[in-house]
Structure 1
């Protein structure tokens, strides 16, 4: 059973701190005491006062036994710990439209979620039952609003800590999961497009670059002049993130470049007839959405050095056929990656600093052929369910109306 005692401790502790009026900026937002403000000033600001602006975060570190007087002060780390606790606890929910982060005394607003409202989400909450307990070492990596403060003391991993067998581990990871060694690629010769990926980059919601991969082994998305030999990925296609110089906003451009400092090692991507797989190598956090998401209503973070299936091709085909047969809008065939910021969340995707969207070239072509085939035939019968899902795509029982829906699915709406 999911242990929620940790969440209760944070809830009670934080209510007591707000009521104490001991911490500047930590106040109730409404008379019913269901919303509260918490100060959120960057440690990099000129008027930053650690004793004042970090007081509540320091108090949480002391309460959790992560800091005692005499230890080296780490206000950004204290802040990240409490942020992790708030975001993971089912007792709290950030109210982004009330938060004010661009004023002289910035703050975030959180809502205290009633217990009865949480009951329906208990099972889902257990899937992520860290609640407010200590963030793991991977959770302590920089969030967007902490980058400016800790960039100087948060370098990318040292050379001697990098795995030397990244490519080997990547290709032979798990046959049952759909990743295969070089010799096994011959079985995919009938669907060469399913190993190709169409990748689009967006900075602040604006499209800045796109590329179609060519190598069936996969690709590595990274920042900087690093060679593949350094991480054992020389056989993968190398794709660099576009320069941030194209970003119009000076502040956004500055933070994007700071984020780049944590994406040095990048990520690995691989596509085949089973789906799309990813492995995060970089220090910076990466969040994603796709049809393999374990839950749809909260951010999904990639753990470091783990191979994760983020898109299931056969599942998409089944969903596509079902939607078409029911005359519903076809599902989105893309995967979205968000770097440095939690995603999906209440913040619109076009406001995210770095977004990368990926789709299988072959799948898109098969979908288009399926829709075209429908227009050329009067048969509306469903394909044999025993056939290979890829092969029974043509013909597909979709209407001209659904064809327009699919073709007009937007990328990122600004």
Structure 2
């Protein structure tokens, strides 16, 4: 992922604060609870420009949709957005406050305490042999019979000591 792209949580916070997407709003700002319009595309009156706006804007932001170049695909945009949102450890759906059906369907989520990113991982350089980066899982690099550049990576869950190294082939 390019480092210049804003991550989903801060992107969402900016969109909520800007009030640029109708229905995307704080439900309880103090508890970081917010609502996302989640109308089903099969509903009568569904319109892509309004009901899929947040999904389209995220697709544009991530480079998955280029207006005028790629075909609009709101079903995929929504699935990708949902997947990205569900993968965040610090944002959880509040199911009992969500409305699943009807023209006012919304999903309510809560932003939890941010999970700090790991910083300061050391990188060890081994000349032409590659690099080693600290990680929490042992990764064994095995030569691929069709590729001299170690194209096949296998993850080995054994030997997880906390000081394990990931060795990348050249």
Note whether the superposition's TM-score is higher than 0.5.
yes
Q: Equivalent residue for 1:106? A: 105
Structure 2 gap segments, 5+ residues each: 117-135, 138-170
User: CA contact under 8 A between 2:39 and 2:101: conserved in structure 1?
Assistant: no
Q: Equivalent residue for 2:164? A: none
Distance 1:80 1:90, change over 3 A: same
Mapped pair 1:68 → 2:105: no
Distance 2:29 2:109 in 1: 14
Q: Which has the larger radius of gyration?
A: 1
SS of alignment partner, residue 95 of structure 2:
coil
Post-superposition shift, 1:102? 2.0
Give the TM-score of the pair, scaled to structure 2.
0.62
Structure possessing the higher relative contact order (Cα contacts under 8 Å, 6 or more residues apart)? 2
Post-superposition shift, 1:113? 1.1
Structure 1 gap segments, 5+ residues each: 120-125, 128-414
Distance 2:20 2:89 in 1: 25
Distance 1:33 1:51, change over 3 A: farther
Deviations, residues 207-244 of structure 1 (Å, cap 9, x unaligned): xxxxxxxxxxxxxxxxxxxxxxxxxxxxxxxxxxxxxx
Distance 1:66 1:18, change over 3 A: same
Runs of 4+ off more than 2 Å: none
Q: Please list, as runs of the form range in 1=range in 2, the aligned pairs for 1:36-185 lying within 5 A after superposition.
A: 36-70=34-68, 71-115=70-114, 118=115
Give the structure with the larger strand fraction: 2
Q: How many residues align?
A: 115
Give the structure with the larger helix fraction: 1
Distance 1:52 1:39 in 2: 9
SS of alignment partner, residue 83 of structure 2:
helix
SS of alignment partner, residue 110 of structure 1:
strand
Distance 1:31 1:113, change over 3 A: closer
Q: Please list, as runs of the form range in 1=range in 2, the aligned pairs for 1:11-410 lying within 5 A after superposition.
A: 11-32=9-30, 34-70=32-68, 71-115=70-114, 118=115
CA RMSD across the alignment:
2.3
